Structure 1
Amino acid sequence: MNLEELHKIEVIADKPYPVFLGVPIEDLGEYLHAQLKDVEHILIITHQVVAELYAERLKKGLLDYRVNLLTVPAGESEKSLERLSQLTTAALRCGADRKTLVIALGGGVIGDLAGFFASVFMRGLRFIQVPTTLLAQVDSSIGGKVAVNHPAGKNILGAFHPPLAVWTDFKTLESLPWAEVENGLAESIKHAMSANPDLFEFFEKQEQSIKQRDPLIWSEMVTRSSSVKIGIVSEDEREQGIRALLNLGHSFGHALETEMNYRGVTHGQGVSIGLVAASYLAKIKGLMTSEEVSRVEQLLTNFGLPTKIARKGLDPKILLQHMQTDKKNQGGRKILILPKGIGQAVISKECTDPEILNAWEQVI
């Protein structure tokens, strides 16, 4: 393997790191040998199902290291302090020390949990993201944000802890159930809505090819979508400005996930409904036309993503309360990201509670 010939995009940050695209998972070991001379012990953190699919392939390149595999149950609810404590106990039993390298093998939940573990264990370990889902490849593995949840809200406890590298093997997407694909599509469409109108048109034109899992179209989709995230993170690593635009749909989506205790709605479904709610709110604020809102709803519907949540007893006022804990808020004011047409987003500090409630009522 010639490291120089690998397709990669550099994230410009305090500590720059590469995002490798379309690389075999077996070749990660060769990269580690070339880049890190002081690593002897590796902790792979993953889910059991992912381990059965990819752990042996990953380990093929790690034969010269002492490797321990730690598995956690699947589900957003596993991003908890209780699970973090259990991982810490397991890591100590494996003899982990400050030179241990953590590899996050899996989707967004694993990336967040393993990354946050790496950020706090013995005051910080180095780690590598090996994203195996579409959501993780286009979004959550890039940018260095790691976190666990709290009963008060999603990702309340977190850190900026960038990986040494993101190692993306497109072949891991072949085993994804369509429900997992939808999670990634929601984030990719969010990227298009917030920063790239051409990408939005790509999704409209390539709907059938994407549904048929055309390998060339999928590699283009991942590359173009992740490039949006990389570009914005490189401009604003610590989310002091434009990076907040990538939270489009998330204030609504996270509130929904929190209220439903991360059951009955996936992250992608929450984001999808959030994108529609944010679009209705943008229409109220004069930022979008009815035709543009319909275009957003149609694209999400075409990919099987929900534009409404059908659940008895779901109270918009309770959802509004959950939005009080959003990390973007300042001085008691709700700060929301709203689309401005298709392909641009803005930070809004002027949304009133009645306007937000109206947007919730459009999607419940």
Structure 2
Amino acid sequence: MTRWAAPGRVNLIGEHTDYNDGFVLPLALAQRTVVTVEPAERSVVRSSREDDPVTFAAATVAPGDVTGWAAYVAGVFWAFRAAGHAVPDLDLHVDGDVPVGAGLSSSASLECAVAVALAELGGLDLGRTELARLARRAENEFVGAPTGGMDQMAAMHGAAGRLVFLDTRTDAVELVPFPLAEHGLALLVVDTRAPHQLVDGQYGQRRADCAEAAEQLGVPALRDATLDAVERLTDERLRRRARHVVSEDARVLEVVDRLTAGADPRGIGPLLSASHASMRDDFAITVPHVDVAQDVMERAGAHGARMTGGGFGGCVIGLVEAADVDRVSGAVAAAYAERGWTAPVAFTAVASGGAGPA
């Protein structure tokens, strides 16, 4: 019996840029999905969060055979096999503390834990980027979620005290220093408890809008567009969607430049807030629970705050003084209580290592 684990992730900045060949800047969390594995005659997946086990045959499983949470496991088996790698049947038990449905990439965390297990058990000499690509293929083609590759790359390449700067066109990775503790800072994460679901029409519609905008602009992807060109688009919806992506790429690059130069991280706060405004006003992917949390965090003293994740729910992050974590999270909780909303859950995110043995 062996144990493998992979982290969830928080995206510091760079939302909906990954499928536009752009730039993202996530960090791997200390919270992890753990998969305990042993040989079996037929694959069985159990989870501490689910009542019933799910079975499938590693040698034949195909898209549509397994649905729901277990599809993220079966999909990795399928992706390995589709890439020409032998996959054994396994008995897998899934556990961990990555919040589900919060936009912290619990699905990619599960996929990547399974991927490193299959690679090690099979003696496969696969690099971390290749493993991330296989995990992404499982999510795109087996589960049917049209996501970019940021989540899996963050889970594979994460490092303690570092952000994962990813160029999604080339999959080039650079680890960027994120010395919050040295500056008396913390990255506060507030799970708004608003439902978060990516396998729906909203995410796909945003992706389609971006593709259409790029086509009208005559560029391979919005990463190649300029703001001046975007402002000349005649369709207001496409103009707003493209403006978010192009301006968000610029914000990511500025954050990387500042942190790489050793600047005080407090200086990136306004860029986080500008990112949120762009997601709210141009990309239209925030919801009231998210906007209230972001606004309250700023009013309570956060240097900057933004929604993180695909949108329509999930988490808000705030760059705060370490001494103010309880006060800022308490302010959000009070605002939710005033509105009769479910209480949010808050924690601090610590940049941690990537997938590997547990």
Common topology (TM > 0.5): no
- Larger % of helix: which? 1
TM-score (norm 2): 0.32
Which TM-score applies when normalising by structure 1? 0.32
Q: Return the structure number with greater relative CO, CA threshold 8 A, min gap 6.
A: 2
Structure with more of its chain in strand, by fraction = 2
